Chain A
Amino acid sequence: MIVAMKKASLICMKEDKNTVLKALQKSGEMMLCSVGSGSSSDGEASGAMRKMELLMRKLKPYQKKKGFLEGPPEIEAGEFDQRGDTELSLAKQADEWLEKIEGFQKEKDRLAAEISVLEPWKSLPTALDALGESSYTYSAVGILPAKSVLQADEVLGKYGAVSEILEDGKQSRKISVTVLKEQASDAMTELKTLGFEPATLPKKNCTALELVEELQKKQAEMDEALKKAQEALKTLMEKAEQTISLLYEQYRAENEREEAPLGETLETVYLEGWVRSDRMEKLEKAIAKATDVYSLSFRDPEEGETPPTAVKNNKWVSQFEGITDMFSSPNYREGDPNPVMAPWYWLIFGLMMGDAGYGLMMAVLIFAAKKVMKPSGSTLKLMNVMLYSSITTMLCGVVFGSYFGETWNPLWFSPMDDPVTMLIFTLVIGVLHIFTGMICKIVQNVKEGYVWDAIFDQVSWMLLILGLGMLFLEPLKTVGIVLAIVGALIVLCTAGREKKGILGKVTGGLVGLYGITSYMSDILSYSRILALSLATGVVGMVMNMLAGMIQGNIIGFVLSLVIYIAGHIFNLALGLLSAYVHDCRLQYIEFYGKFFEGGGEPFKPFAIHTNHIKLK
């Protein structure tokens, strides 16, 4: 059922703005609409929120690893607003540790870079500060390519330089050069044209080897400090993680309040939004609690307005709402398709899985997952859909005699032995499903006063399809022929009724009759039920066969248990994915295609939304 909406207008004093917004957010009953004037953005909270988000991202490596199925931490909804110095100081401490760690890391990188410069000169016998200019000479160390060694010797001879080979390699030679100060720059330029690369080394009163050792010692110290800081941050995160997530969520909620669309005068604030007609008192109560001075009025939606859609169903049907929402929310003015869709989805899911053993596994596993993960929102709904569908899965498994892929005493018949009967059965299910959709359209048409359209566009096709179906049953053959002809004649005569001119009407009718192909392909589409149920059954059977093959001795028996467990869980996961996807498809295209318009805007009230923690 689609809930009627009311437009609420709220005026309150400017000084109460924050308390009122907070109350609105906490109650989560009103979907705010923009009221013309823009809202103030980029307030304090948005900056704080972004800072906290960055902090959370940086802290991620230091958090305790979460279990795969573990949900976010829970806190009491009443405690959400509390923010004291302890919380803020925890965040600050974490931030400081992070900064320290970053500093250590930078220092480590710097040391490593320095060492890599010194590394090639470890064999230099003199102290580093002996290089460069002295009173009369200039000395340098550098690398000379092997091919220019002879030319370099000539240059060195020309300037009367003293050179020493420090290390001789195949490709290059490390040398030290000492030359008179006045000739230094000329000599160096000439050497450089030969490919000589002088090294820039720090001036220190020790040899390169000693310096490298010293730096390495520092590096080790830095490593130690870094490790300690990381450990400390990890310990801190054990208690700070939840606090920081909470702080982020608080700032986010605050930011949403700052961005709430509202109109302002000098003294008052004006808010407008949609409220569910069955929850108006709750909104009023929430506001009354926050302030005494306010004016709240409700009115029905006007002609041109499109209110958002909220649906209300019993607990069982409401679990299936997510399936429809994934396709499209129903629009405000049409009916809610969920109560009709839910039983079909439930049944078809069971037919597609169709195995009593897998149904049992689904029930147990999903029940356990619900206990461990404590999901909420759409995940919870989807899990419930599957939990409910485990019942139909078990039932279909018993009817078709499938237990973990083995056939055993089917109540009706086994699709594995008789796929043709199963194919016909799935097509009959398809016809019934499509007819349900068409009946929904008839109801819609009749409600809106288009009785004739219902007869021309829906009843005619139902007669035709029903008649064609009866042709396959010997005793009903004549009735079938009559029905099919009546249906086809109605379509032929009326499908072109909106076209102009005789010619248009005739071709319209013929084109309309051609629509039989689309109905046929819709119905044939339901054969996927057979394919999927066979796929589950056969893969399960193969797993059993594989396990059976190696059951010769004790080791084989243990191995076969592994194959049983892994194989059936794999097959179950695959079957669930296929059944979910293809059941959705049958609802969206074959079923909703017959009557559902959709395109509604979902009702999303102004509320506290949290990702990293869960409010109880």
Chain B
Amino acid sequence: MSGISIAIMGAAICAALAGCGSALGVMSAGKAAAGVTSEKPELFGKMLVLQALPGTQGIYGFLTAVLIMVRIGVLGGAPLDLSEAQGWAMFWAALPMAIVGLISGLCQGMTAASAIHMTGKQPDASGKGITMTALVETYAILALLTSILLIYGIAL
């Protein structure tokens, strides 16, 4: 396999898995939010914020994929002639975001669903719910940083 296609594989897996994680997370939060909104339509705004929280993993995965594309010249410029080793390096660099994006998106969605239930019962506690949900995201952010630093660290 040529280096560039391995690197593209990394970018693709990263955007795909992290996106799946977010989709699942936003879905489980959204189901809970729909339930609460059916009883308390006035909480829609708060529900929307909580539901949106697990959506960031998808963005991070997308962001990582774009950075890889920029780095290997697929976006805006001529594709570089990567060696196989460089291609694999890019692939591994994408993995932290891909894997953690998938799993943390799922987990954050579950936490968001619980926070949504809590907000349904105590609308004033939405801030606390947001904070609890955001704690899960820390690890997605760390994975994103690892991926970014690796992508920029690889000598091309």
Is B35 among interface residues, defined by CB-CB distance under 8 A?
A: no
Separation of A336 and B34 alpha carbons in the complex (Å): 38
B109-156, CB < 8 A from A: 127-128, 130-131, 134-135, 137-138, 141-142, 144-145, 148-149, 152
Separation of A255 and B137 alpha carbons in the complex (Å): 45
B16 to chain A, nearest CB (A): 17
Q: What chain B residues lie within 8 Å of A532 (beta carbons)? A: 141
The segment out of B2-10, B49-57, B86-94 that lies at the interface is B49-57
Contact B128 A538 (CB under 8 A): no
Report the interface size for chain A: residues with CB under 8 A from the other chain.
28
Q: What chain B residues lie within 8 Å of A541 (beta carbons)? A: 66
Contacting A535 at CB < 8 Å: which of B59, B75, B128? B59
Contact B59 A534 (CB under 8 A): no
Separation of A563 and B135 alpha carbons in the complex (Å): 33
Given contacts A535-B59, A574-B59, whether A419 and B131 have CB atoms under 8 Å apart is no
Contact A534 B135 (CB under 8 A): no
Separation of A531 and B148 alpha carbons in the complex (Å): 9
Contact A420 B145 (CB under 8 A): no
Separation of A545 and B66 alpha carbons in the complex (Å): 11
Q: What chain B residues lie within 8 Å of A588 (beta carbons)? A: 131
Contact A585 B144 (CB under 8 A): no
Separation of A326 and B134 alpha carbons in the complex (Å): 14
Q: What chain A residues lie within 8 Å of B141 (beta carbons)? A: 527-528, 531-532, 582
Q: What chain A residues lie within 8 Å of B130 (beta carbons)? A: 581, 584
Chain A, residues 319-333, CB within 8 Å of chain B (1/0): the string is 000000011000000
Q: What chain B residues lie within 8 Å of A574 (beta carbons)? A: 52, 55-56, 59
B50 to chain A, nearest CB (A): 10
Contacting A534 at CB < 8 Å: which of B52, B55, B137, B148? B148
Contact A531 B131 (CB under 8 A): no
Which residue, of A528, A530, A588, A589, has the highest number of chain B Cβ atoms within 10 A? Answer: A528
Given contacts A527-B142, A528-B138, A545-B76, whether A584 and B127 have CB atoms under 8 Å apart is yes
Contacting A582 at CB < 8 Å: which of B52, B127, B134? B134
Chain B, residues 14-50, CB within 8 Å of chain A (1/0): the string is 0000000000000000000000000000000000010
Q: What chain B residues lie within 8 Å of A538 (beta carbons)? A: 63, 66-67
Is A232 among interface residues, defined by CB-CB distance under 8 A?
A: no
Is A577 among interface residues, defined by CB-CB distance under 8 A?
A: yes
Is A429 among interface residues, defined by CB-CB distance under 8 A?
A: no
Is A35 among interface residues, defined by CB-CB distance under 8 A?
A: no
A612 to chain B, nearest CB (A): 11
Contact B53 A581 (CB under 8 A): yes
Separation of A532 and B138 alpha carbons in the complex (Å): 11
Contact A535 B134 (CB under 8 A): no
A560-582, CB < 8 A from B: 574, 577-578, 581-582
Separation of A566 and B59 alpha carbons in the complex (Å): 16
Q: What chain A residues lie within 8 Å of B145 (beta carbons)? A: 423, 527, 530-531
Contact B131 A327 (CB under 8 A): yes
Contact B149 A577 (CB under 8 A): no
Q: What chain A residues lie within 8 Å of B66 (beta carbons)? A: 538, 541-542
Is A137 among interface residues, defined by CB-CB distance under 8 A?
A: no
Contact A539 B52 (CB under 8 A): no
Contact A327 B127 (CB under 8 A): yes
Is A525 among interface residues, defined by CB-CB distance under 8 A?
A: yes
Q: What chain A residues lie within 8 Å of B134 (beta carbons)? A: 581-582, 584-585
Contact B127 A326 (CB under 8 A): yes
Q: What chain A residues lie within 8 Å of B63 (beta carbons)? A: 534-535, 538-539
Separation of A541 and B63 alpha carbons in the complex (Å): 10
Separation of A541 and B142 alpha carbons in the complex (Å): 22
Separation of A524 and B134 alpha carbons in the complex (Å): 16
Contact B131 A539 (CB under 8 A): no
Q: What chain A residues lie within 8 Å of B55 (beta carbons)? A: 574
Which residues of B line the A interface, CB within 8 A?
49, 52-53, 55-56, 59-60, 62-63, 66-67, 75-76, 127-128, 130-131, 134-135, 137-138, 141-142, 144-145, 148-149, 152
A-B contact pairs, 16 of them (CB 8 A): A327-B131, A419-B148, A419-B152, A423-B145, A524-B142, A525-B138, A527-B141, A530-B145, A531-B144, A531-B148, A535-B59, A539-B62, A581-B130, A582-B141, A585-B134, A585-B138
- Which 9 A/B pairs are nearest by Cβ-Cβ distance? A326-B127, A528-B141, A581-B134, A531-B141, A538-B63, A585-B134, A531-B144, A527-B145, A535-B63
